[in-house]
Amino acid sequence: MTKLADITHKIRSKNSGPFWITIDIFCTDAAEFERALIAADSGRVAHALGISVSDLKRYDLPDVRVVKFSFPRPIVQGTRFDRDMHGASFANLIAELDVTP
């Protein structure tokens, strides 16, 4: 099995304020970025995050070789059912996406 983390440089997630999470997929070079553009399919990413694809904002940024996703937090930061105050673990769901060709 090939995971998205295996074919990219670094994947991180973080709060963007109390109501949003943002995920950055960093690529080492242009070829890696081209592969990531396809592998990080918006539908699969939304499914892994458990959200609707219409809630997912996507930015393909060739200058910095980053695919970025932002989405409203499924659970608002710090409310009783929130598990991750800083939103750091959402990246793992994307890093572990099965992208076996």
Interacting residues with other proteins (CB under 8 A) = 14-20, 22, 24, 26, 48-50, 57, 59, 61, 63-64, 66, 68, 70, 72, 76-81, 83-86, 89-90, 92-93, 96
Minimum CB separation from other proteins for residue 97, in Å?
10
**Ranges assigned E (strand) in 18-89:** 20-26, 57-61, 66-72
Minimum CB separation from other proteins for residue 43, in Å?
16
> Any bridge partners for residue 74, and if so which?
none
Tell me the CA distances in angstroms from 90 to 12, 35, 50, 54, 63, one per residue in order: 8, 21, 11, 18, 24
Minimum CB separation from other proteins for residue 88, in Å?
9
